[in-house]
Structure 1
Amino acid sequence: MISVTDMGAVGDGVTDDTAAVQAALDSAGRGDTVLLPAGRTFVQTRVLTVANAGVTVTGGGTLLATQESDSSLTVTAADVTISGITLDISSTSRRWDAYEQQRLRLDGASRVVVRDVVVDGSAAAGVYVGGGTSDFLLDRVTVQNTRADGIHITQGSHDGQVLSPVVRNVGDDGVAVVSYRQDGDPCARIRVVSPSVNGSTGGRGVSVVGGTDVDVTGLDVRNTYGAAVYLAAEGNWGTTGVARVRVSGGTIVNANSATGIDHGSVLVYNGTTDQTVQDITVTGLTVSGYRATVSRVLGLIADSAASPGIRSVTLSAITITGDSRPAALVSNQGATTFTAAGVLRNGGALVRTGGYFR
């Protein structure tokens, strides 16, 4: 056990403890535990890095970043566990997007475990999983008050699990899997279980924007800026396509509060001319609460006639309540590209008229 106080950290929330905390992280080897003692707040003024494999960081204490431009705790080594600590930030003035501003960043490491960690405030994403990080576990992580996504998984990161995350009041997506073509292979084999997302000032609740073999189960998404569930390939952001994504079981309430976008509660979307969105299943959802001017609850939309479009989508066992708009489901895709079975609105089955299901 190596306590950061042994390295000179004070933990009074005022003294700059960056050097002492980094010294403790650097001195720890495989099997060692670095302690941030409970009840203390350690001020961090620059990026801290866990660069030694097999280290555990725990103790119940708080790391308070006071410089938003250099506020990250970054993990670059394998077999690291971050457990039971709080990552706070004194204030943020705007949304940042560099690595140094992702409050907790996993960078290309394998078998990292983040458990019972609270991220309260971030100049960018709360938890950023990038650099091809593999075999990772985010377990009971709470993220709130971020400028960007709550949890952002990208850069080909793969074979990971996100279990029971709680995301509140974030600036963009709650839990996002995002794959950009420039990064090579898409994110793959990601499992998200029981995500709870409530409140966003931008973005969507749970999103897969480029990625393969992603499974989301037992969601509870409320009060989002855009769609609660968003499965898409985006041309303007240069993302890959989407394949073999399953969203099953859960509740959606009051999605798409923003009047400037028309997502609805669930949107399957292709905004590219050369990528496919295919093999999608959305099932077992209960949906309620709608902005009066949103045009639909469920959507399957491709922007371009030249697009490969949306293929092999199944919508099933979806219960829509309290909806009186002209169409509950809108699609500009051919009837053979998707099936809608057991989708009920206000207790009745949908009736199709062209691309509109009333």
Structure 2
Amino acid sequence: MNKSKFLSGLVALSLGIGGAAVGGTSADAAAVTQTYSSSQGFGTQQQGANQWYYEKLSGTAYLDLNYDKKNNRWAAPNGYPWVSATALHPDQNFDAVRKWISPGKGTISITGSVKKGSGEGDGIAASIRKDGKKLWSSVITGTSAISPTGVSEVSVEEGTEISFVVNKRGNANHDHTLWEPDIVYTGSAGSTSPKAASTAPKAESSANAKQSAFISVLDYGAKANDSKDDYAAFVAAIDAAKATGKTVYVPAGNYMLSDILTIDGVKVKGAGKLLTTLTSTNPKRGSIDLKGSGVELSSLKHAYSTTVPRGDGANEKNSITVRGAKNFKIQDVYISKSSTAGIMVTYGSTNGTVSGNTLDSTGADGIHVTGGSSYITVENNIVRKAGDDTIAVVSYIDSDARAAHHITIRKNHVGYGSKARGIAVVGGTDVTISNNSIQDANMAGIYIAVEASYNTRNVDRITVSSNMINHTGIAEPQNHPNVLVYASQGIVDNVVFNNNTIKNGAHRGIGVWGEGIIKNVTFNKNTLINRVGAPTTFSNGKIKLNQNVGF
């Protein structure tokens, strides 16, 4: 909060303030003694009534809460954190804050005990701060009342901020905290002219973020290249951007993130994928999660300082996870290492674009589209040294309500030492794969399949056109062909290959295999050259061949 807020709602103290300020004034009109009760002076109409404000805190950024009339408290849009007349409750990313701002120069004494609302949970950290500097703090794990110490006869100036902060410890479960502080103020009355609270956003401190449409993470406490955690500052900047409809700007430099960063319906933009770096320091919880409508991530690099084995493939270990987002965009992002996937698009995400990104050394697939996601375009990306497939569309019978559908994969350059397939569709419908360059992948360059081992859904209406598939199927003993259509269960139907160049296969050219049902597979005007072994191994399916060269 800017100190310019402190005069909102202020009236001449000599007149008294409802039930909020009790006691009398001194004989000297220039000096007063007033008691400000947080519970009696609880405001329901506007911030600043009776000198009290209700906020959430992340890093060094204080952001206003909104009044929740139904529950008679101030709260964030999702319900947490909140501040009521008698209690506070933090959430995972924000502290709950009750703030008082001094009306003038003088001294204050603070009373009022603190205790948990229940004995459950891992406790809270409570603190009293003067202009951000701690006056008192304590970890509270039980329901026994604790009275703050060292908070008597504290000097204040006009506009001094006294914050009562409740912070979660490991998690925010059962962190309902009972705290009704009173402040006895003795000093000058200060200004007697009420002023409206300033609602203007923070000034942009970065030269690259001067446009009013941007919010800089620097203004919320982030500092590049200092090896300190910037997570709280990013959370605060994203929250402010969501409230104002602005874009979060991340200037050049390296920023450290200690946990999963959720971007919900907000655009986050760096200075360039070789200039701005976000480094996740927790290898098990380092994903950047995209949610909501219109969310975007662009022009930056995301890296892990360390990685762990792929193991269960948890999404929390991805580089980027798109969780049910709509109208999303991931553009011009450089991904360097991850414990699992590079970019995971799942939970029914729809109408999204993944374009112009570079992915290096992911633990699992480079780009993975699943969870019934639809109308996704993956284009102009480079994927190198993926720990599994470079780009994959996968649909599971057990977990996906429907197959992924209407996916376009075009103009990508992938492979370059990747450990599994180049571009794969393992369960899915209405997928177009066109104008891609695929080379040096251990398994098939193009793979269209239904797999029993992963219990995947059927494949239907897949078009593969004008791709260059060069030197794939390298690994032994799998000996994949450059192009493979495969079914170990279910049905593969309506797969068409048009005008592809298939060359330098490490073991053979084209295969259609498996014990499942393979119906119509058509090859039109494809060119197969410099293959090793048999040009084709067609052991299943209804194969149609038209004007192909080399087979």
TM-score, with structure 1 as normaliser = 0.89
In structure 2, the residue matched to 1:121 is 337
Give SS of 1:22's match. Answer: helix
**1:261 deviation in Å?**
0.9
In structure 2, the residue matched to 1:270 is 487
Give SS of 1:42's match. Answer: strand
**1:342 deviation in Å?**
2.2
Once residues 304 and 457 of structure 2 are traced to their aligned partners in structure 1, the CA distance between those partners, rounded to angstroms, is 33
In structure 2, the residue matched to 1:48 is 261
Give SS of 1:170's match. Answer: coil
Give SS of 1:19's match. Answer: helix
Once residues 236 and 204 of structure 1 are traced to their aligned partners in structure 2, the CA distance between those partners, rounded to angstroms, is 16
Deviates more, 1:126-135 or 1:76-85: 76-85
Give SS of 1:181's match. Answer: coil
CA-to-aligned-CA distance 1:96-154 (integer Å, 9 cap, x gap): 41121111110001000111111111111100000000001112121111010000000
In structure 1, the residue matched to 2:251 is 37
Runs of 5+ unmatched residues, structure 1: 351-358
Give SS of 1:191's match. Answer: strand
**1:194 deviation in Å?**
0.7
Distance 1:262 1:22, change over 3 A: same
Distance 1:324 1:86, change over 3 A: closer
1:57 and 2:268 equivalent?
yes
Aligned to 2:463, which of 230, 237, 246? 246
**1:93 deviation in Å?**
3.4
In structure 2, the residue matched to 1:323 is 531
Q: Is the 8 A contact 1:173 1:200 kept in 2?
A: no
**1:271 deviation in Å?**
0.9
Once residues 121 and 324 of structure 1 are traced to their aligned partners in structure 2, the CA distance between those partners, rounded to angstroms, is 33
In structure 2, the residue matched to 1:89 is 304
In structure 2, the residue matched to 1:256 is 473
1:280 and 2:488 equivalent?
no
**1:217 deviation in Å?**
0.6
Give SS of 2:307's match. Answer: coil
Distance 1:184 1:13, change over 3 A: farther
1:333 and 2:540 equivalent?
yes
Q: Percent identity, aligned pairs only?
A: 31
Give SS of 1:106's match. Answer: strand
Distance 1:202 1:278, change over 3 A: same
Give SS of 2:470's match. Answer: strand
Q: Is the 8 A contact 2:355 2:378 kept in 1?
A: yes
Q: Is the 8 A contact 2:390 2:418 kept in 1?
A: no
Runs of 5+ unmatched residues, structure 2: 1-213
- Partner AA of 1:310 in structure 2: I
**1:3 deviation in Å?**
1.1
Once residues 344 and 245 of structure 1 are traced to their aligned partners in structure 2, the CA distance between those partners, rounded to angstroms, is 22
Following superposition, which runs of at least 4 residues in structure 1 exceed 4 angstroms of deviation? none
1:67 and 2:257 equivalent?
no
Distance 1:157 1:126, change over 3 A: same
In structure 1, the residue matched to 2:549 is 344
1:212 and 2:429 equivalent?
yes
- Partner AA of 1:344 in structure 2: V
Once residues 225 and 109 of structure 1 are traced to their aligned partners in structure 2, the CA distance between those partners, rounded to angstroms, is 32
Once residues 428 and 394 of structure 2 are traced to their aligned partners in structure 1, the CA distance between those partners, rounded to angstroms, is 7
In structure 2, the residue matched to 1:181 is 397
- RMSD between superposed Cα atoms in Å: 1.3
In structure 1, the residue matched to 2:234 is 21
In structure 1, the residue matched to 2:140 is none
Aligned to 2:511, which of 279, 299, 302? 299
Q: Is the 8 A contact 2:284 2:308 kept in 1?
A: no
Deviates more, 1:172-181 or 1:55-64: 55-64
- Partner AA of 2:455 in structure 1: G
In structure 2, the residue matched to 1:353 is none
Once residues 226 and 527 of structure 2 are traced to their aligned partners in structure 1, the CA distance between those partners, rounded to angstroms, is 49
1:165 and 2:381 equivalent?
yes
- Partner AA of 1:289 in structure 2: N
Once residues 343 and 67 of structure 1 are traced to their aligned partners in structure 2, the CA distance between those partners, rounded to angstroms, is 51
CA-to-aligned-CA distance 1:245-286 (integer Å, 9 cap, x gap): 0010021111011112132100000011xx110000012111
Give SS of 1:69's match. Answer: coil
Give SS of 1:28's match. Answer: helix
**1:198 deviation in Å?**
2.5
Once residues 308 and 348 of structure 2 are traced to their aligned partners in structure 1, the CA distance between those partners, rounded to angstroms, is 30
Give SS of 1:255's match. Answer: coil
Q: Is the 8 A contact 1:172 1:200 kept in 2?
A: no
- Partner AA of 1:198 in structure 2: G
Give SS of 1:27's match. Answer: helix
Q: Is the 8 A contact 1:108 1:134 kept in 2?
A: yes
- Partner AA of 1:66 in structure 2: T
Once residues 50 and 110 of structure 1 are traced to their aligned partners in structure 2, the CA distance between those partners, rounded to angstroms, is 13
- Partner AA of 2:320 in structure 1: L
Aligned to 1:231, which of 448, 453, 475? 448
CA-to-aligned-CA distance 1:146-178 (integer Å, 9 cap, x gap): 010000000000011112111111101111000
1:312 and 2:520 equivalent?
yes
Structure of higher CA gyration radius: 2
Q: Is the 8 A contact 2:418 2:440 kept in 1?
A: no
Give SS of 1:84's match. Answer: strand
Once residues 92 and 114 of structure 1 are traced to their aligned partners in structure 2, the CA distance between those partners, rounded to angstroms, is 22
- Partner AA of 1:208 in structure 2: V
**1:10 deviation in Å?**
1.0
**1:13 deviation in Å?**
5.4
Once residues 172 and 110 of structure 1 are traced to their aligned partners in structure 2, the CA distance between those partners, rounded to angstroms, is 26
Q: Is the 8 A contact 1:9 1:20 kept in 2?
A: yes
Give SS of 1:70's match. Answer: coil
